[in-house]
A and B are shown apart, each in its own frame.
Chain A
Amino acid sequence: MKKVIDETGFNRTLTRLAHEILEKNKGAENLALIGIRTRGEFLAKRLREVIWTIENLELKIGILDITLYRDDLKEIHYQPLLKGTEIDFDINKKDVILIDDVLFTGRTVRAALDELVDLGRPSSIQLAVLIDRGHRELPIRADFVGKNLPTSLNEEVKVAMKEIDSEDSVYLKTLNIGGE
């Protein structure tokens, strides 16, 4: 297991992402942050803090549980626990920043987009991810990327966050093919 981002790097990356989001949107007035469960939620909360220190503006924040929109419910061997979507504001006409930890096949983002569209009609939806590891299976790209991390398919990217993992860092792990 190799550490590819440590705590200092993690925080710098978040600060840069916040600046890029603000620069592209010319401020924060119309922004809303929506994180995809589980770590996207924590990243959204961190980004809100950073944006608050820069703009002195507290953004609205929402949490998206995409389970009901997954396209692989029939194939996975365990049943994911529903934790629910919590968005207690109107997303119509907002510029929504959709946040996730790792962008991989793009299928999670596809599910999230479908769910958001059912919830309303935002002015725009932009995607921010901490890590883009490649291997897309759908025509989806991120607007804001913390770090591009070229990987092979037998590797796993593990984002750790203090809220649940006791540290802020990113690891690259080689999986044992044919193992387990």
Chain B
Amino acid sequence: MSLENRHLLGLEGVSKNDIQLILDTAETFREVLERPIKKVPTLQGKTIVNLFFESSTRTRISFELAERRLSADVVNFSADMSSLKKGETLKDTARNIEAMKIDMVVMRHGAPGAALFLSKVINSVIINAGDGSHEHPTQALLDLYSIREKYNHIEGLNVCIVGDISHSRVALSNIHGLKTMGANIAVCGPATLIPRELDRLGVKIFNRIDEAIEWANVLNVLRIQLERQDKSFFPSLGEYRKYFAVTKDKIQKINKNITIMHPGPINRDVELSADLADGEHSIILQQVLNGVAVRMAVLYLLGTRS
């Protein structure tokens, strides 16, 4: 059994079979992560470059751990130490790195479509670790894995993504993945942060968080990107908090069985109340653990694909 595509650029167009294969494979790696020696020799001799043009802590560490636990050789490249500042293009940077005989590239880049572009100019296997506001497929896969782990299935569940949907690659990848796996999808947030085209993808739109909480089995709460505050998509943080924050009293009043997810990093008591983030409804740390296993699965499936 192999994946249909030799790259993972996004979840749009990825088949149900492929997503299922990745999730099933990740289960094996979850078991590996429980071992005293959390390392297997599978990708010995493969060289993987983590090419990060945007800052990231957890995604990069998660990928790096996954790579090292598969025994690959790992090279990290981040923008602040790069030649980009000297004016080199992405194409030249990538071609130069590839000339050093590498096998796979994990890339994060600010421009939507950067991963697809890279896959056309070099021969290595490309894994998209986030391209602007477009896609972040491994995050969505680990979200799917975490939902499946909790409920044993994904089909038929009501999953609502809360927050800044317009600028979120996590939201878009999740929508594609959840749709393929047969979940019912909704989004909730300020109207200025919800793209109107979403209803064409079959996504429900809630303008009130109470309605979203009542409807959902799972709430995937996104980070409010404080750095975008100057563009005033909503009047103030206080107002956002008042209308869209997910808090414990709302959950207890409306839907006690709900599951809370968050891709991190959390702004505590902005989009999600601290007690909820640490409470019994939350599977946030489980998501982080599953992230390593899911990335190992993707690296394994693409790295040993014949």
Q: Which residues from chain A sit less than 8 Å from chain B, CB to CB?
A: 65, 68-69, 73-74, 76-86, 114-115, 118-120
Contact = CB atoms under 8 A, between A and B. Distances in A.
A73 B305 CA distance: 9
B41 A68 contact: yes
A153 B183 CA distance: 52
Interface in B1-54: 1-2, 24-25, 27-28, 31-32, 35-37, 39-42
B236 interface: no
A74 B28 contact: no
A114 B41 contact: yes
A118 B2 contact: no
Given A68-B41, A73-B42, A84-B27, A79 B36 contact: no
B28 A82 contact: yes
Contacts of B300: 68, 82
B304 interface: yes
Given A68-B42, A81-B1, A120 B36 contact: yes
Contacts, number: 48
A149 to B, nearest CB: 31
Contacts of A86: 31
A163 B305 CA distance: 30
Nearest to B301: A79
B38 to A, nearest CB: 9
B61 to A, nearest CB: 22
Contacts of A78: 1-2, 306
A82 B24 CA distance: 8
A120 B42 CA distance: 19
A80 B300 CA distance: 11
Interface residues of B, number: 20
Contact of B39 (A65, A73, A83, A118): A118
A76 B306 contact: yes
Interface string B284-306: 00000000000000001100111
B37 A118 contact: yes
B35 A118 contact: yes
Nearest to B43: A73
A74 B304 contact: yes
Contacts of B306: 76-79
Nearest to A73: B304
Contacts of A82: 24-25, 28, 300
A69 B41 contact: yes
Contacts of B27: 84
Contact of A84 (B2, B31, B37, B305): B31
Nearest to B305: A79
B92 to A, nearest CB: 30
Contacts of A115: 40
Contacts of B25: 82
Contacts of B28: 65, 68, 82-85
Contacts of B305: 79
